[in-house]
Structure 1
Amino acid sequence: MIDTELLSQIQAAGITDADYERAERHIEVLKTLSNLTYKGIFIYDNFKRKYLYISPNPFGWLEYNKEAFENMGSIFIDAFIKPNSKKAIIDAFVYCYQYIKNLSQEEKENIAIYCNYDYMSIDGKHLPSTKCTPLEFAPDGSPWLMLGITTSEPHGKHDMFCIHNILRKELVSYNPKNDKWEKKQVPTLSPKEKTVLLLLSQGQAAKSVAERLGMSEYTVATHRKNIFRKLGAHTVAEAMAFAVKYKAI
């Protein structure tokens, strides 16, 4: 069962009817946005501890009907998340909530949270990958509404959580090996490395990139090697995905 005492630590307070009028305006925008993507879009309410909105897009909910999630609130953790992930995800929610609450207002508005967790999908082969950010805040500065995007991944590691403080260019990641949160800076690419990565990601060969930038193929290869090292990537696609996700490009 869910630890209700832990959940109480991430419950917003002081929300009024006027606040929910603003929430309705957000929902109307998301209804339109959901027509443009296959991913699942949601707004989670940390005051009522329930979903205020769930888009009908099937890829976000791993083949379940979206109605299965509506009105469940935090109970979805008991219903759909595998036992080995339940404690990790609740602990992560509590940590993220406290981390955001203590930031300046400008930083709060520039936060992204990424998580993958072990989920009982119908086919048993996918993990949900969720990215969310605070949409509205309670009077005490804690996150009230969380805007999120969810899709399924055929591969990945469960219990992976990361907070991206965009203004500080800081990543705060959960390390399941030692059960600790660790901080590191987002890798920085030089202007030349960014250009090389963009051109390589477009499918251009090293020779073509070299000719376009007026450098040797050896120099292009050196830039490519340095990009992979900085971003922890093994392919151009991996490097580009990391750079876009964490705004390194």
Structure 2
Amino acid sequence: MSEQVPVEEFTRVESIFVRHRNVLAVRAQFTPIYTDHYLHLMQQELRYGEELDGILKELYAMLTLHAVARPWAETIAWTVNLRAPRVNLFVTASSTQEMVTGRLFTEDVREPDRNLFYSQTTTQPGAEPRTSTLQVDGKDPLFWVSQYYMQSEQRPAKAFRLPDETYVLIAAQPDFDEEWFENLDTEAVTKLQETEETKVLETRRFRFHCGCTLEKILPILGSWKERPDELFGDSDQIVVQCPRCAARYGVSRDML
């Protein structure tokens, strides 16, 4: 049986079809996810700078909306390698697990000659992921998503910030109204359901959640089992981080 979580801990994501314009509008208010993001940082004694934290949070929003615009059975991971500041931002989302999580990598990050965006999409465990790489400009995740859609999805999309930590992704469908789409702005998106004929296709629920455990982390260290001194040095215990959410776990020699 799946874990039961109160509804208020989820971000409710609506997938809305805009009739006659032939676009999909995916909309959500992200306060529940952002609240759990900060609880996670506090529990793990992590602190991100304001700028990078803001970028990471908006990547959560963009990936969640993108995941809802995609088929159910996909798990998607995005990594953005920024040149300045030198950092990797990682986010991953799964519709089947109704989750999104992520982290920053600030140590031992190679410096690229340009900002690079990597996407991996997996449809089932063990399957070879579908990957794409593109150069992105600036530090705005909403603009990155537009660039990603044009290159990898091969259709235009626009993302919008609305008040109260609400975001909307507008993704073009076949035979979309190009002139209307090009003229879309935040005001028009805010009034979309008042001014256009729309239909809510589905509603999904997402939360900030990784699902990592010490038992899942230990196999990552399996290659060190025959040479523990290289891993532990003079210590009897080390701290390892989850590669997905940066949660910290103490690992002793006898655990290997």
Task: Tell me which protein shows more strand as a share of its residues.
Answer: 2
**TM class, shorter-length:** 0.3 to 0.5
Bigger relative contact order (CA 8 A; separation at least 6) = 2
Q: State the TM-score, normalized to the length of structure 2.
A: 0.31
Task: Tell me which protein shows more helix as a share of its residues.
Answer: 1
